[in-house]
């Protein structure tokens, strides 16, 4: 009864609205005509429909679909004429005859629906539905209905009929956040729309009339019944023969619903963070943020977030360097080595030639949220020594692996670090000092080079949270930083031991539109860090660490292998960072938070999970 009353009300309101505008127009004509009046107030802008974006791996395969919403805009020429006619016959039979409003259709829908238990035929024209879905809301109010009529009037003036129909077929809703016929075909049948059978076309055409009632997943029988009614309409209107109609209705409909692709969350969560940084750098938001404070900074951040959302809604392809096989190895290694423990971990792997991030583990059993690979800042322990102590000293003085340094007691400005065992080792070579990770030798080299000069090397790696107070403390030479570093930062820094240069690693290779035009791309250039001699000497010393020193559990047979262990005070962080011919990787293990000052993971030290994880990834 409510539906009948609603249609009666609409029937009465349309002529009232028309008359109202007619008499209002008569008065307004003294100033301007009706067309000019509407033209000023109803502006039909060019439409860029929001559509899905995706993230691809190094092979071009999609591993994440970003629905904002799930729409794939398709050219009208690729939409089968049979499918178009299905919608025309069921939604707007006189589409090509009216000018956006079909008053007769309202009366016709009233009569048809009054004889049915459901809404069998819609009263809104296709043009009205385009107006509602693109320019207006779904509110059921008189004001919205009048606006819909005016917008439809303008749309018909501005666009060709075929353009209006194509817009409609790309905006209509098919439930499950699916919009448009192409996305519907791929969601329900995993086929492009132009490959669907007539039975499949009629099936998806049944959905938009009432997406909840005709939800194929939850109410398949309802959808099937409406599909058959649509086929009967097509037969009645002689678009198909009665025999063909029966054949189409008898075709078995098998849904092949494919959930949204969302693989490798450890990696994709970083990609989304990097995308924001890439857009910020490309479009100048990063500089604006540096120069702003307080509310002004918050406003810029909001603009940046809105810009990122707009880019994703435009339908882009984010091409990344993800190596699926290496990614799976990294995730499995962290999960399996730390299984059953309360210890967490993270890993980052960088390609030595490309300087791309090829794999990330955000933590044991990571499921979004806090991604330890790039968000966990931890003290690096002795893994900092090659970067801040040995490398700068050897590069400054031209020293080689056999240069002698004291590993006895050492104090500087009241700070007296000790070796791990507490023992003194006298004069040792740089190679032995690094291999055995003697703390006093590393501290001496740091002071000899000069703290300020040593940090000029470290600054080239762009560590995000190394601050001024770190630069004046002896503890920095042993990894004692105020905030610390991430696994990803360490992997990038150690990649400088490949050829002596550093290129900031990224996951995103480029961002293109759906036609392949490059929209965003990093423009990093390599920076020279180490001389050729220093690079070769450090590579040899890092190999000694793995073959003869503290990193033996990471060792395996390889053309080249080298790395460095790191343990922080009170045994709260265990690190291993190293490289092979193909990759550089950093692994951190520890706890996110410790319950007391006595809490630690010393019991894990002999097991060496950090080294075992690294070996499993790199082997």
State pLDDT tens for residues 106-120: 566 556 555 554 444
Max Cα-Cα span within the chain: 105
Overall average pLDDT of the 230-259 stretch: 96
pLDDT at residue 148 tops 50: yes
Domain membership flag for residue 177: yes
Query: Does 145 score more than 90 pLDDT?
Result: no
The encoded tokens of residue 524 equal 């990093």
Please, what sign has the CA dihedral across residues 29, 32, 33, 34? negative
Tell me: pLDDT of 168 over 80. Answer: yes
Q: Report whether pLDDT(37) > 60.
A: no
Query: Which CATH number does the domain housing residue 339 bear?
Result: 3.40.710.10
Question: Is residue 378 included in any domain, yes or no?
Answer: yes
Percent of the chain's residues with pLDDT above 70: 88
pLDDT at 119: 47
* pLDDT bucket at 469, cuts 50 / 70 / 90: very high
Active site residue 382: yes
Backbone angles phi, psi at 139, to 5 degrees: -60, 140
pLDDT for the residue 553 = 98
- Domain presence at residue 369: yes
Report the Cα 305 to chain-centroid distance in Å.
Answer: 13
Residues 222 and 364 grouped into a single domain: no
Same domain, 243 and 377: no
How many CB atoms are located within 10 Å of the residue 407 CB? 22
Task: Looking at the structure, tell me whether residues 234 and 370 fall in a common domain.
Answer: no
Whether 156 has a pLDDT exceeding 90, the answer reads no
Structure-token pair, residue 290: 């540096």
**pLDDT given at position 532:** 98
> Domain containing 145: what range?
2-250
Q: Tell me what the mean pLDDT of segment 336-359 comes to.
A: 97
605 given a catalytic annotation: no
pTM across the whole model:
0.85
Identified catalytic residue from 53, 90, 91, 346? 91
Q: Of 206, 230, 250, which one is at a domain's C-terminal end? A: 250
Count of alpha carbons within 13 angstroms of residue 184, beta-carbon side:
27
Tokens of 92: 């707007």
| Residue 20 banded pLDDT, cuts 50, 70, 90 | low
Determine, yes or no, domain membership for 221.
yes
Please say which residue of 229, 250, 271 terminates a domain: 250
More confident residue, 424 or 108: 424
Asked if residue 447 belongs to a domain, the reply is: yes
Same domain, 62 and 171: yes
User: Region 139-161: what's the mean pLDDT?
Assistant: 80
209 to each of 147, 174, 467, how far by Cα in Å? 22, 9, 61
Q: What percent of the chain has pLDDT over 90?
A: 80
Please indicate, yes or no, if residue 286 is contained in any of the structural domains.
no
- At 289, is the secondary structure helix, strand, or coil? helix
The per-residue pLDDT for 151 is: 82
Q: Are residues 219 and 338 in the same domain?
A: no
Q: Mean pLDDT across the stretch 337-352?
A: 97
Q: Which of 25-34, 202-211, 418-427, 566-575 has the lowest mean pLDDT?
A: 25-34
The pLDDT of 362-386, averaged and rounded, is 97
Would residue 315 count as lying in a domain? no
Query: Mean pLDDT in the chain?
Result: 91
Report pLDDT digits (tens) over 178-189.
999 999 999 999
Per-residue model confidence as pLDDT tens digits over 64-88: 999 878 999 999 999 999 999 999 9
**Strand 344-351 to strand 357-361: parallel, antiparallel, or no bridges (unpaired)?**
antiparallel
Same domain as 361, residue 239: no
Number of separate domains in the chain: 2
Task: For residue 277, tell me if it sits in a domain.
Answer: no
Radius of gyration of the chain (CA): 33
Q: Domain check: are 422 and 569 in the same one?
A: yes
Same domain, 242 and 354: no
Same domain, 416 and 523: yes
pLDDT of 99 > 80? The answer is yes
Give 303-338 pLDDT, tens digit per residue.
Answer: 999 999 999 999 999 999 999 999 999 999 999 999
Closest to 270 (Cα-Cα) out of 544, 494, 506: 506
* Structure confidence at residue 134 (pLDDT): 83
Question: CA 333, CA 349: separation in Å to the nearest integer?
Answer: 13
Task: Please report the DSSP string for 382-400 in residue order.
Answer: GGGHIIIIIHHHHHHH---
Domain boundary among 198, 231, 250: 250
Contact indicator for 507, 320 with CB cutoff of 8 Å = yes
Closest by alpha carbon to 162, among 73, 88, 72?
Answer: 88
Active site residue: 147, 346, 382, 454, which one? 382
Please indicate whether residue 128 or residue 275 has the higher confidence score (pLDDT): 275
User: What is the band of 31 on the pLDDT scale with cuts at 50, 70, 90?
Assistant: very low
CATH number for position 224:
1.10.3810.10
């Amino acid at each position: 009864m409510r539906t009948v009353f609603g249609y009666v009300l609409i029937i009465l309101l349309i002529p009232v609205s028309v008359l109202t505008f007619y008499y209002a127009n008569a008065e307004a004509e003294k100033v301007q005509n009706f067309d000019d009046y509407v033209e000023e107030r109803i502006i039909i802008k060019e439409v860029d429909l929001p559509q899905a974006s995706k993230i691809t791996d190094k092979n071009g395969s999609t591993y994440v679909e970003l629905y904002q919403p799930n729409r794939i805009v398709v050219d009208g020429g690729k939409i089968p004429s049979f499918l178009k006619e299905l919608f025309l016959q069921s939604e707007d039979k006189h589409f090509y005859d009216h000018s956006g409003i079909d008053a007769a259709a309202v009366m016709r829908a009233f009569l048809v629906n009054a004889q049915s238990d459901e809404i069998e035929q819609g009263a809104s024209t296709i043009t009205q539905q385009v107006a509602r879905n693109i320019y207006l809301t779904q509110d059921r109010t008189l004001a919205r209905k009048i606006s819909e009529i005016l917008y439809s009037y303008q749309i018909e003036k501005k666009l060709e009929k075929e353009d209006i129909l194509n817009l409609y077929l790309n905006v209509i809703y098919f439930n499950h956040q699916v919009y448009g016929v192409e996305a519907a075909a791929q969601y329900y049948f995993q086929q492009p729309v132009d490959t669907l059978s007539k039975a499949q076309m009629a099936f998806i055409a049944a959905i938009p009339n009432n997406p909840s009632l005709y939800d194929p997943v939850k109410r398949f029988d309802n959808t099937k019944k409406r599909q058959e009614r649509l086929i009967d309409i097509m037969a009645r209107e002689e678009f198909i023969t009665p025999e063909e109609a029966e054949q189409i209705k008898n075709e078995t409909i098998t849904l092949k619903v494919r959930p949204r692709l969302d693989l490798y969350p450890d990696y994709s969560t970083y990609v989304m963070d990097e995308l924001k940084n890439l857009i910020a750098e490309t479009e100048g938001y990063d500089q604006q943020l540096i120069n702003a404070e307080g509310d002004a900074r918050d406003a810029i951040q909001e603009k940046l977030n809105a810009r990122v959302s707009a880019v994703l809604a435009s339908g882009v392809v984010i091409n990344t360097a993800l190596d699926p096989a290496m990614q799976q190895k990294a995730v499995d290694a962290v999960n399996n080595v730390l299984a059953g423990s309360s210890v967490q971990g993270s890993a980052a792997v960088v390609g030595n030639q490309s300087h791309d991030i090829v794999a990330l583990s955000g933590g044991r059993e990571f499921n979004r949220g806090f991604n330890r690979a790039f968000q966990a800042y931890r003290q690096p322990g002795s893994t900092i020594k090659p970067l801040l102590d040995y490398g700068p000293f050897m590069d400054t003085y031209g020293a080689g692996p056999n240069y002698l340094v004291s590993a006895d007691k050492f104090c500087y400005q009241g700070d007296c670090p000790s070796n791990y065992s507490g023992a003194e080792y006298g004069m040792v070579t740089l190679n032995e000092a690094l291999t055995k990770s003697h703390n006093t030798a590393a501290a001496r080299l740091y002071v000899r080079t000069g703290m300020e000069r040593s940090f000029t090397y470290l600054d080239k790696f762009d560590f995000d949270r190394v601050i001024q107070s770190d630069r004046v403390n002896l503890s920095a030479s042993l990894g004692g930083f105020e905030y610390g570093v991430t696994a990803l930062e360490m992997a990038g820094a150690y990649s400088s031991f490949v050829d002596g240069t550093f290129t900031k690693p990224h996951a995103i290779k480029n961002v293109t539109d759906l036609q392949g035009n490059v929209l965003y791309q990093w423009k990093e250039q390599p920076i020279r860090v180490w001389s050729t001699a220093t690079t070769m000497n450090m590579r040899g010393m890092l190999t000694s660490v793995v073959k003869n020193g503290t990193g033996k559990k990471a060792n395996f047979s390889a053309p080249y292998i080298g790395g460095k262990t790191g343990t922080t005070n009170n045994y709260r962080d265990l690190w291993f960072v190293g490289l092979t011919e193909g990759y550089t990787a950093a692994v951190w293990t520890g706890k996110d938070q410790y319950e007391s000052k006595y809490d630690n993971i010393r019991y894990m030290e002999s097991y060496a999970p950090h080294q075992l994880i690294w070996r499993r990834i790199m082997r």
